[in-house]
Chains A and B, each alone.
Chain A
Amino acid sequence: MSIELSELRLHAREMGTLVAQQVETAVRALLEADGEAAELVLRREQRVNAWQTDIEAESFSLLARQAPVASDLRTVLAISRAVTDLERAGDEAKKIARFALASAGHGVGGPTRVIRRSLRHMAALASESMRVAVDALDRGDAKVAQEVARLDREIDHEFESALRQLMTVAMERAPRLLKPVFDTVFALKGLERIGDHAKNVAEHVVFLVSGDDVRHAGKSRAVPARELQH
């Protein structure tokens, strides 16, 4: 079983690395209006999905045949869950690449120029958070998970700030900027979501290491689900 487990972890690392790359490339495509980079991301999206299918199938088979317990079991479950988040992050990267492609035509102008600083910052943060999360998963390092949570918080702050700026722009300028504004918002949202997915992966790493389920920690959890009314 340890051979299969090692292979599973290897595959998870490869997928994670690929997704982190996708994020970085999509972000670069957006910031530097690089059409080729955007197309690269779109082409590679298929591989991300294929990885998800393969890894899920591998995990399933391992669970059925080997009946792993303790840390082996936690590893398989954590990887299976993390892979879902990785695939979604890859999806977001794809959407950002599309946006980059669309706005590359008319240059980095319009609303994107207004929030340029925030955009750069968020992009860098999203990229880094995904990279760190993937690394944490590979090394089984729960401490690094805290770092990812911090990065995600920064992304959220930056997102709110950018959103406020955009709303000002939308209200002040003419409504003809509405579509570009919306598109920009979605791009920003995509980056924000990438940060969330990275944080989820970090939570799965914590589960892998200690068995603690910290996905909804902090909210009231004293009562078991079946006793909650409605």
Chain B
Amino acid sequence: MQAGTAQASIEQIRADVSRRMVFDRLFVVVGLLVMFSALLVLAVLFIDLVQKGAPRLNLEFLTQFPSRKPERAGILSAWVGTSLIMVTTAAITMPIGVAAAIYLEEYAPKNWFTAIIEINVTNLAGVPSIIYGLLALGLFVYQFNLGQTILTAGLTLSLLILPIVIVATREALRAVPRPIREAAYALGATRWEVTAHHVLPYSMGGILTGMIIGLSRAIGETAPLITIGALSFIAFLPQSPVTGEFPFLSFAWLKDAFTAMPIQMFNWVSRPDPEFQVNAAAAGAILLGMTLLMNGIAIWLRYRYRKRINW
């Protein structure tokens, strides 16, 4: 009798579980579908660009200046400009963003003033990028008289991605567990020593990741660059940062006029000549490739840092 009832309940349990597992498996299927759809869209886009731009995807494309003839127009000045702008942006954003995040996370007292700052930092991430362009035009180009140069572009994009970097850095700093800080304090370290010797080094992975995510956002920004006056037909390069004479390093290139990848693409797409569409597609494929490459570096960095430090 006992065995009989036990048997029945086991069957009941099995039926119950398999009924509930249906929803479990259903969600897996739905999730996979959605994910693959998104990836599919991206893949289709990429393949489309590559296909359309295939005729122009060669070395000459990368080493030629823009020209009125589509078959001779290249993106040399564009990708050099983009690269230099990224370097400038990184150089400006990194210290400011990290310092601001350190202040907010480690030093700022928890009062209403700090709360206001924090809210505003997060809000700034949502400001439309063209607003930054207008701000930069008024402030950097005219007020500070920096002109329509790479330096201005760098400053503008820095403002744009600063909130991203600050938030990401704060998250990275926060991830350093409290016991580690306490251990350092207990040994007699000052707040700065705790930050510089422990908190910063251990969160470097997260900070770099945040930096690169910010840069991959900046790389595709067109509106602010147009606003501050990026040219779209320049047949020259900014001055080389490396010179033949002492001190072998020059910053003259910061003062040069520039163009950037998105600008060049926009310019070609607007032309009536269908040949230029091919160029635009090729440039788009390369730009996408650059972005994916940067994100790949970010992921690799995060993986490497996470291996070394597992809390």
- The short answer to whether A and B are in direct contact, CB under 8 Å, is no
Q: Which residues of B contact A (CB under 8 A)?
A: none
Q: Which residues of A contact B (CB under 8 A)?
A: none
